[in-house]
A and B are shown apart, each in its own frame.
Chain A
Amino acid sequence: MKPKTPGGIWALRGISVLIALVVIGAILAVGFSAYQDYSGIKSEISSGNKPVSGIAVYNVTSGVETVSFNVTVPNRGLLMLNVTMSCSTSSAYVSCRSAQAEIPPGGEGALHFVMTVTDVKQFLSSTNRQVNGTIAMSLVPFVSLSIGLNFTKYVQLPGAV
């Protein structure tokens, strides 16, 4: 005869189910949010009708050039989305204005990143042309993704012939 399951065992099973539900809930929330945010940002950048200028390069005055990235990031997921764009360099001819947006679920956030090359000629002739840029996105508090790259390799300066 099968013995009757004690109450303590049922309690342990209950806790197991609860833990499983928390794990599944976390996976679903992160997965859904990541997919929604990815598709939202992708459609926002590719659509071009919204206030998205993508990467815009323009001259301010002779010899001084500004590379700006202006984008509105939507958050269609379930978690808070934190987006940061920053850069660091030891070059004296480059300065950066970092952009950061903390976007609640269902909201939108404007991201305006500016990199200024104060003297293009000097910058291009110098040996130190490394500008380390970082784009970081995090689904608070679960996951954060950061992409680090050399900005000058990917951004074409108009002064560079």
Chain B
Amino acid sequence: MSFGQTVPARKRVTGAVFALVVNVILWIVIPYYLGAFLVKFVPDIPLGVPSFVYEFGMLFIVLDVGAALFQGMAVSLPFVCGAALLSAVYLWFVTNGGSLQVTTSGITVGLDFRLLLYIFIVPSLWAALRAPMSYLIWRRARAKIVPQAPGSSATPA
């Protein structure tokens, strides 16, 4: 992410449309067909796509499209941070906190991967932290470069 340069409106709109299409495929289309596949081919195993996946998907779409639409502006910060934090929360929910268990035909299979999950969550949390830090660094750098307007306080009295 770069706050150092102004992104043209046309590029931002194109980015937002692209984000919309990709996110709809990722969060609505794929889970829908995956759920239909699981129900059809593995009916014995209680696997399926829970409704919260679609709810999270809607939020992801809004946040990612917002982030793309306001790319390069301070307004994009809440969208970028929100999407990053949401992906961490989503990862936590979808993996049941890194502990999955399936019981079928008297056999219980459990998978525990908490440490791996923490490692997967770190990039999302870092992205949420990095965005405001990046914005502050760019703002500071621009304040140094941009010359003072005539008649401003920098002019000696």
B-binding residues in A (CB < 8 A) = 2-6, 8-9, 12, 15-16, 19-20, 22-23, 26, 30, 138, 141-150, 153
Within the complex, what minimum Cβ distance (angstroms) separates A3 from chain B? 5
What does the 1/0 interface line of B72-109 toward A look like (CB < 8 Å)? 00000000000000000000000000000000001111
What residues on B are CB-neighbors of A15 within 8 Å?
A: 126, 130
Within the complex, what minimum Cβ distance (angstroms) separates A65 from chain B? 22
Chain A at the B interface: mostly helix, strand, loop or mixed? mixed
Name B106's closest neighbour in chain A (CB-CB).
A150
Of the listed stretches B32-40, B52-60, B138-146, name the one at the interface; the rest are far from the partner chain.
B138-146
CA distance A9 to B140 in the complex (A): 11
Chain B at the A interface: mostly helix, strand, loop or mixed? helix
CA distance A26 to B4 in the complex (A): 33
Of the listed stretches B9-17, B20-28, B114-122, name the one at the interface; the rest are far from the partner chain.
B114-122
CA distance A19 to B137 in the complex (A): 20
Q: Please determine whether A147 and B115 come into contact, CB atoms closer than 8 angstroms.
A: no
Q: Please determine whether B134 and A12 come into contact, CB atoms closer than 8 angstroms.
A: yes
CB of B111 within 8 Å of the partner chain: yes
What residues on B are CB-neighbors of A16 within 8 Å?
A: 123, 126, 130
